[in-house]
Amino acid sequence: MASSPLPATASSQGGAEAPLVVLDRVNKHFGKLHVLKDITTSVRSGEVVVVIGPSGSGKSTLCRAINRLETIDSGTITIDGVPLPEEGAALARLRADVGMVFQSFNLFAHKTVLQNVTLGPMRVRGLDRAEAEKRAMELLDRVGVANQASKLPAQLSGGQQQRVAIARALAMQPKLMLFDEPTSALDPEMINEVLDVITGLARDGMTMIVVTHEMGFARRAADRVLFMADGQLVEDAAPVEFFERPKSDRAKDFLSKILSH
């Protein structure tokens, strides 16, 4: 079946567009711990940015701050030219435009796979059931689990559940997808089936920020790699540049440990 169309992106519409996501001097503390230190970067429409670094470097906090699951202490984050709203309906609208896939699948255990994917489009986007189910089945087919539509999440493998979670996020037709360690809770043989789905989204032009420990995926799918350590954005480079010619001692040390195994 042909891939379902993704939302039009600035890059697909042609012309030089403003970045879709802009972070400007973003800071975040957890008590005395300074977990994000003056983070400044941007992401263009259609771009795939992979965030890597040692545990505790601030990667997941950065990802969660972009749709305000974590508040920030200072600096600004804008999405499609709009600053992150504080609360209320504006924040709900933003979250509808920013899909997020977590380490844990966060599916509704008492609802079928199909119900999990149709719930958001019906409640938030106002789709009728027939249209929501048609779109959901297209997306479930796209991620390879259409034959599981009538099952409950507990009847699926971890890899299948994560692919359902991706379909659920895509069903909202987001402008941006955030992935926070999407394979870290999976058995090794299930990791590639999820990464293959994300790689397919990259080929189709979905704007994505992916926090991961999977270096092969970062090399293969990223337009840019952000390397974080100790709450700082240490390097921002194309994958070839980063993996073959890292500039900082911190990145060289990280890569020597992670690539030697």
Q: What is the pLDDT of residues 190-224, one digit of tens each?
A: 898 899 999 999 989 999 999 999 999 999 999 99
For residues 38 and 7, which has the higher predicted lDDT (pLDDT)?
38
Mean pLDDT estimate for the chain: 89
Residue 2 has pLDDT above 50, yes or no: no
CA 140 to chain centre: 18
Distances (CA, A) of 250 to 9, 39, 216, 223, 256: 35, 17, 20, 21, 10
| pLDDT for residue 16 | 58
Residue 37, C-beta contacts closer than 8 angstroms, at least 6 positions apart = 27, 58, 230, 231, 232
The mean pLDDT of 58-76, rounded to a whole number, is 92
**Eight-state DSSP code of residue 133:** H
| pLDDT for residue 10 | 38
**C-alpha Rg value of the chain to the nearest Å:** 18
Do the Cβ atoms of 38 and 25 come closer than 8 Å?
yes
The mean pLDDT of 13-32, rounded to a whole number, is 84
CA 93 to chain centre: 17
Q: What is the dihedral of CA 195, 54, 63, 158, to 10 degrees?
A: 40
**Eight-state DSSP code of residue 96:** H
For residues 88 and 158, which has the higher predicted lDDT (pLDDT)?
158
Residue 260 has pLDDT above 90, yes or no: no
The Cα–Cα gap between 91 and 87 comes to 5
Residue 3 has pLDDT above 80, yes or no: no
| pLDDT for residue 217 | 92
The mean pLDDT of 39-61, rounded to a whole number, is 94
The mean pLDDT of 73-96, rounded to a whole number, is 85
In this prediction the pTM is: 0.89
Domains defined along the chain, listed by start: 10-258 (3.40.50.300)
Model confidence over 133-188: pLDDT tens digits?
A: 999 999 999 999 999 999 999 999 999 999 999 999 999 999 999 999 999 888 88
Residue 64 has pLDDT above 60, yes or no: yes
| pLDDT for residue 174 | 92
Residue 259 has pLDDT above 80, yes or no: no
| pLDDT for residue 34 | 96
Residue 7 — pLDDT band, cuts 50, 70, 90?
very low
| pLDDT for residue 261 | 52
Residue type, 47: E
